[in-house]
Amino acid sequence: MSMVRRIPVRQILAVVPLLLVAVVVLRQWPTFDAGTDRLGSADREWLLAAGAATLLAWVCSAAAQQGAVLEQLPAGRLLATQFAASAANHILPAGFGGNAVNLRFLLRCGLSPSRSAAALAVRALAACVVRVALLAALLAVFPHALDLHKVVPLRAHPALAVAAGAALFAVLVALLSVRQVRRTVSSFLGTVVSDVRAVHGSSSRAAALWTGSLAFPVMHAAVLMAVVRALHAPVPAGHVALAYLAGSAAASLLPTPGGLGSLDVALALALVTAGATGVAATSAVLAYRIVTVWLPLLPGVLVLAALVRRRVL
């Protein structure tokens, strides 16, 4: 028993993310190396703009998280947590890592487990609403920006949509048919509705929630626009933004760590439908990944380890 007690669990938890990121980097090294070579001839000013937009995305994420709760969260720790959460998202699948980090942070700030989970749901709901609205608005402004015939046969469109909808409906029906699941979902939704009302009762919290949720995808679209410009790809900015929103929406259907693989393919295909060549689209996605994932990954994991050691998480 004494040996078990001496095991430095917290120190081990701080080292595990470093080992995981090392595995991810080694597995993806050819992609990283190829992207680095292509960036050698890219426009430096546009790459700096992409880096600035990436930094602002974490600020937007912090604003959205603060807007999802009534309690005042410590600003510095909140921002550091978003940076660490972005790194965790690239190690664990389907956004689980980032949500786990934010959930732990909210619990450490004194929120109950149900309130913490509800806060994450409120933020996710706002993000979903904003992304759908942005995508619809851009499709209305640029109705012919994405030429899907370049990547998907025309006859496949309805079949894919019907198959995806039927599968989702079947899963929901199966889950809700279980009484315990139905009760849990009902209780959780009640908490979410209560928190939504409370947050919107404060103008400052509502503004932070919706502004942060809106600005976050805008910043990531700006990163993609900047790298497209840096690589001199002749694709209009509006079409690039639409490609980002469509590609990220498609990638969300295939949960992988940080969207690695699924988001890359979806963004590349979306850029091709927006008018980029295959080579230009591949180069832009590689540059986007280097700026938003690979360069911040190790610092983000170090921040995550530091937050764990200092009991912020």
**Region class of 48: left (phi > 0), else alpha (psi between -120 and 50), else beta:** alpha
Contact (CB, 8 A) for 257 and 23: no
Contact (CB, 8 A) for 273 and 243: yes
- Considering only 223-232, 237-246, 247-256, 264-273, which range has the smallest mean pLDDT? 247-256
Mean pLDDT value of segment 28-42:
62
- The answer as to whether 227 is a domain residue is yes
| Residue whose token pair is 């120190």 | 11
Mean pLDDT value of segment 29-48:
70
Q: What is the per-residue DSSP string for 156-169?
A: HHHHHHHHHHHHHH
- The answer as to whether 67 is a domain residue is yes
| Residue whose token pair is 């198959």 | 163
Residues contacting 185, CB < 8 A, separation 6+: 175, 176
Among the listed residues 22, 85, 38, 46, the one whose alpha carbon sits nearest the alpha carbon of residue 216: 85
Residues contacting 213, CB < 8 A, separation 6+: 60, 64, 67, 123, 126, 127, 129, 130
Euclidean distance between CA atoms 208 and 163, whole angstroms: 37
- The answer as to whether 8 is a domain residue is no
Give a three-class secondary structure readout of 113-149.
HHHHHHHHHHHHHHHHHHHHHHHHHHHHHCCCCCCHH
- The answer as to whether 294 is a domain residue is yes
Mean pLDDT value of segment 19-26:
59
- The answer as to whether 29 is a domain residue is no
- The answer as to whether 21 is a domain residue is no
- The answer as to whether 231 is a domain residue is yes
**Structural domain count of the chain:** 1
Per-residue pLDDT band at 175 (split at 50, 70, 90): low
Per-residue pLDDT band at 154 (split at 50, 70, 90): very low
Domain region containing 79: 34-309
CA 221, 36, 302: angle at the middle one, nearest 5? Answer: 75
Does 105 score more than 90 pLDDT?
yes
- The answer as to whether 178 is a domain residue is yes
Among the listed residues 21, 44, 49, the one whose alpha carbon sits nearest the alpha carbon of residue 296: 21
- Considering only 41-55, 158-172, 233-247, 286-300, which range has the smallest mean pLDDT? 158-172
Mean pLDDT value of segment 266-289:
82
pLDDT score recorded for residue 6: 56
